Amino acid sequence: MFEKILIANRGEIACRVAHTCKRLGVRTVAVYSDADTHARHVALCDEAYLLGPAPARDSYLKADLLLQIARQSGAQAIHPGYGFLSENAEFAEACQTAGVVFIGPPPKAIRAMGSKSAAKAIMEQAGVPLVPGYHGKDQTLDTLARSAAEIGYPVLIKASAGGGGKGMRVVESAGQLAEGVAAAQREALASFGDDQVLIEKYLFRPRHIEIQVFADKQGQAVYLFERDCSVQRRHQKILEEAPAPGMSPERRREMGEAAVAAARAIGYEGAGTVEFIAHQDGSFYFMEMNTRLQVEHPVTEMITGQDLVEWQLLVAAGEPLPRAQEQLAIQGHAFEARIYAEDPDRDFLPSIGRLEHLRTPAENLHVRIDTGVRQNDEVSPHYDPMIAKLIVWDQDRGGALRRLGQALADYQIVGVATNIRLLSALVAHPAFAAGEVNTGFIEIHRSSLFPDKQPVSDHILALATLGRLLYVEREAASRAHESGDPWSPWRSTSAWRLNDDNMQTLYFRDGERDVSVTAHYHGDHVRLDLPGGSLPVSGELKGEGDLVADLDGVRVRATLVRQGEDMVILSQGASHLLTLHNPLTEGMEDEVDAGSLAAPMPGTVTRILVQEGDTVATGDPLLILEAMKMEHTITAPRAGMIECIHYTVGDQVQEGVELLVLGGTP
Ligand code: ADP
């Protein structure tokens, strides 16, 4: 086994590899770009080297620099992870030349699978079933048209050098072929610098089933069963599982043996995945082979109890495979959900930003989280927007599915938009529970997976209002505490202090809708006037923003995250954004001097929540004014220091007068 390896990657996969190395006592060398100086993978490894600026071509793709760092640090091998240089035959070769072990297959195996057409020719020779199609060198339209007619429409045109769904075109009839071929060729040339295409029969709503294979230098090869990755959004996998629903032991053996034959045909070594496309009738065809560790490898680890990164290290170090085929068995069922920073409301565009709040479900025997980020990390525009892989395991599919639903509900992310809502909807879908998966799943169930946005419920409004009132109370109390005034009413630690017989209205913006909630204080509880009626509530705010609320006798929990005037309420797996605003001050801002805070209406000062010299953050409550039997909280429009308070409790003020002066931060 190696003493020390270099991990030529970042994010979750770099952390994943480091994790196994740590367990095996192998020392690790991390590399990072300027954007990743404080990244989790850098912190996890024993030493770390800066590669260069953020763009991958200036950092993670710099083959020469990586080899230089390997030499300098004394790393004996390089683990490429996935993506970046993992399927780059020249890099694998350069490692060989430099005397550093490339933890992956031999360069010639990578090359053999690099072209879809060439790979198909090899697989045909090896007796692996292929989708009916044409993958020859003759690219004339005549030949392509004749082949398409023989296969039968609809057909799929693919770029031979393709990947990531680029250069793929469905052609419904002979009349559209010329146009489809031209478009696929243009896209292929632009993306891969090679316009060779192939034609396949277009299968209707097939399944994507792939086989994990492993081979060692001694000539042994095994399969570690299948993964079903049919649930895709735009040909990109988002939910994977193992074993595949409905797979019979005979079909499993047949597919496994075909995959091993494919690996043997190209002299494979290490971890590889043979991807098949499977027809609803159970027939299956070779699609391509990925010559690296796959993103979704953890589901295989969960059902086999094997650590595939450990296997990779052993094989690369020249050891035989740790298990023979008959020593491998499937236990239970596993799912992986890919949590992405992308915005479902903006057509799933990557969502860039800081992870202001990040809380994950507890990890245990059933729940595993592979991630490269922590709270306060940035999701940068330079790399893949995947935040984490959530992996669950249980004895059977139903149990694992239940755990996945619960773990998704417990995954709290504020700061960037995520696809968690879609994942939760998928997992809760009856057709998914029934195992009716295919590559068209999201299209078929679109209307139920993407329901129209509903206004925030009274339940959430009640939690938001209660949480806000408790926050105001807590902050005022802590300020009074700091001030040392023994007579301040905020020094009392009884649970509910806003106990006068008065009321306060909070104005929320919920998307396009404006909604207000009035709170009436009644000693130990508050009665809220909500759009749907009145509700007695009470509660307690704990720690960072954990709310334990009693809503008319029902005890519920929620988490509140504040960002200025924005409040995110995380409850039962859903997150709701509400923005606090004050309709009375809106439109007046222009008239008011930026540093001062003016009374929005004539009234009485009932509370002053700050003292001169206090520093405040945007949205902090400063003073409460009562008018028309309603309370209005004056909040800080920006961060700063309270320079002067012009009034005391009980004073009458006229509309527009300056109540206090907010200076800059000292
Ligand atoms: P890429 O390498 O660009 O990702 P693949 O060949 O791996 O392309 O195919 C990606 C996805 O496209 C598959 O998972 C499947 O959903 C769909 N697909 C591929 N080939 C076919 C086919 N012959 N018929 C129907 N769908 C297909």
Give start and end residues of each alpha helix (H) in 371-493: 397-409, 420-428, 430-433, 441-444, 446-449, 458-483
What mean pLDDT, rounded, does the chain reach? Answer: 91
Burial class of residue 468, CB neighbours in 10 A (0-12, 13-18, 19+): buried
Ligand 1, pocket-test mutation among 207, 210, 273, 287, most atoms within 8 A of CB? 287
- What is the Å distance from ligand 1's center to 248 Cα? 23
200 Cβ inside 6 Å of ligand 1: yes
> pLDDT tens digits, residue range 338-369?
999 999 888 888 888 999 999 999 999 999 99
User: Which ligand 1 atom is at minimum distance from the Cα of 166?
Assistant: 3
Q: Closest by alpha carbon to 119, among 223, 224, 274, 227? A: 274
* DSSP element (H, E) containing 146: helix 141-151
For the record, the structure tokens of 522 come out as 């009644």
Instruction: Evaluate: CB of 162 within 6 angstroms of ligand 1.
Output: yes
Pocket lining: 438 vs ligand 1, CB cutoff 6 Å: no
Nearest alpha-carbon partner for 424 in 337, 334, 302: 337
Q: Which atom of ligand 1 is nearest to the CA of 159?
A: 3
How many whole angstroms from 236 Cα to the centroid of ligand 1?
A: 10
Q: Which of 280, 439, 443 to mutate to test the pocket of ligand 1 (most atoms within 8 A of CB)?
A: 439
User: Which ligand 1 atom sits nearest the alpha carbon of residue 203?
Assistant: 24
Nearest-atom index, ligand 1, CA of 165: 3
Query: Which of 123, 295, 308, 316 minimizes the C-alpha distance to 224?
Result: 308
Whole-angstrom distance, CA of residue 98 vs CA of residue 31: 18
Q: How far away, in angstroms, is 117 Cα from ligand 1 center?
A: 14
Residue nearest to atom 14 of ligand 1 (CA): 208
Whether ligand 1 lies within 6 angstroms of the CB of 235 is answered as yes
pLDDT at 193: 86
Query: From ligand 1's centre to the CA of 170, what distance in Å?
Result: 11
pLDDT tens-digit readout, 77-87: 999 999 999 99
- Ligand 1 atom index nearest CA of 232: 16
- CA–centroid distance, 338 to ligand 1, in Å, is 19
- Bigger pLDDT: 136 or 619? 136
CA distance 359 to 578: 20
Q: Does the CB atom of residue 291 touch ligand 1 within 6 A?
A: no
- Closest by CA to 270, choosing from 98, 77, 4, 94, is 77
* Phi-psi group of 308: left, alpha or beta (phi > 0 → left; psi -120 to 50 → alpha; rest → beta): alpha
Q: Which residue type is seen at 23? A: R
**Which residue among 157, 277, 286 is best mutated to probe the pocket of ligand 1, counting the most ligand atoms within 8 A of its Cβ?**
277
Write out pLDDT tens, residues 18-61: 999 999 999 999 999 999 999 999 999 999 999 999 999 999 99
- Based on the residue annotation, tell me whether 292 is a catalytic residue of this protein: yes
The Å distance, Cα 165 to ligand 1 centre, comes to 7
| Region 606-630 average pLDDT | 85
More confident residue, 378 or 495: 378
What's the CA-to-centroid distance between 508 and ligand 1, angstroms? 46
pLDDT score at 258: 95
Which tops the pLDDT comparison, 639 or 241?
241
Ligand 1 atom closest to the CA of 208, numbered from 1: 14
Nearest atom in ligand 1 to 133's CA: 23
**pLDDT for residue 317:** 98
CA nearest to 322, candidates 396, 222, 244: 222
**Interior/surface letters 257-295, b for 16+ CB within 10 angstroms, e for the rest:** ebbbbbbebbebbbbbbbbbbbeeeeebbbbbbbbbbbb
What percent of the chain lies above the pLDDT cut of 90?
Answer: 75
- 337 CA to centre of ligand 1 in angstroms: 20
Query: Which has more pLDDT, 509 or 583?
Result: 509
Q: Is 278 in the pocket of ligand 1 (CB under 6 A)?
A: no
Q: What is the pLDDT of residue 551?
A: 97
CB of residue 115 inside a 6 A radius of ligand 1: no
Per-residue pLDDT reduced to its tens digit, 155-187:
999 999 887 778 899 999 999 999 999 999 988
Q: What is the pLDDT of residue 490?
A: 53
* Alpha carbon of residue 578 to chain centroid: 23
For ligand 1, the distance from its centroid to the CA atom of residue 412, given in whole angstroms, is 33
Confidence of residue 285 (pLDDT cuts 50, 70, 90): very high
Q: Which two tokens stand for residue 5?
A: 């390896």
Kindly list the distances between the CA atom of residue 350 and the CA atoms of 9, 79, 107, 606, in Å, as whole numbers in the listed order: 20, 27, 34, 47
Give the pLDDT confidence score for residue 398 in this predicted structure: 98
**Amino acid identity of 4?**
K
- 55 ligand 1 Cβ < 6 A: no
Domains detected in the chain: 4-103 (3.40.50.20), 132-201 (3.30.1490.20), 458-585 (3.30.700.40), 596-663 (2.40.50.100)
- On whether the CB atoms of residues 428 and 421 are closer than 8 A, the answer is no
φ and ψ at residue 57, rounded to 5 degrees: -65, -20
- Which atom number of ligand 1 is nearest to the Cα of residue 229? 14
Best probe residue, ligand 1, of 208, 276, 284 (max atoms within 8 Å of C-beta):
208
Q: Is 156 in the pocket of ligand 1 (CB under 6 A)?
A: yes
* Segment holding 48, helix H or strand E: strand 47-52
Q: What does the block give as tokens for 653?
A: 């003020």
SS3 track for 537-590: EEEEEECCCEEEEEECCEEEEEEEEEECCEEEEEECCEEEEEEEECCCCCCCHH
CA of 235 to the centre of ligand 1 (A): 7
Ligand 1 closest atom vs CA 202: 24
Given a contact cutoff of 8 angstroms between Cβ atoms, the answer to whether 135 and 181 are in contact is no
| Residue whose CA lies nearest to ligand 1 atom number 21 | 202
Spatial separation of the C-alpha atoms in residues 303 and 335, rounded to whole Å:
10
pLDDT at residue 488, as a whole number: 60
Q: 531-540 long-range CB contacts below 8 Å, 24 or more apart?
A: 531/458, 531/461, 532/458, 533/458, 535/458, 535/462, 537/462, 537/465, 537/466, 538/466, 538/495, 538/496, 539/466, 539/467, 539/470, 540/470, 540/495
Kindly name the residue from 227, 292, 403, 562 that is annotated as catalytic. 292
CA separation for the pair 572, 108 (Å, rounded): 51
Of the pLDDT bands very low, low, confident and very high (cuts 50, 70, 90), residue 597 is confident
592 band by pLDDT with thresholds 50, 70 and 90: very low
Q: Is any ligand 1 atom within 6 A of the Cβ of residue 164?
A: yes
Flag whether pLDDT at 594 surpasses 60.
Answer: no
Q: Please report the pLDDT score of residue 586 as a whole number.
A: 66
Of all protein residues, the one whose alpha carbon is nearest to atom 1 of ligand 1 is: 163
Whole-angstrom distance, CA of residue 196 vs CA of residue 615: 65
CA of 124 to the centre of ligand 1 (A): 18
Q: In this structure, which residue's CA is closest to atom 2 in ligand 1?
A: 163
State residue 587's pLDDT score. Answer: 54
Indicate which residue's Cα is closest to atom 22 of ligand 1. Answer: 202
Q: How far is the CA of 617 from the centre of ligand 1 (A)?
A: 52
Length of the chain measured in residues: 666
- Return the residue whose CA atom lies nearest to atom 8 of ligand 1: 165
| Reported confidence tier of residue 629, pLDDT bands at 50, 70, 90 | low
pLDDT > 60? residue 143? yes
Q: Whose CA is nearest to atom 17 of ligand 1?
A: 235
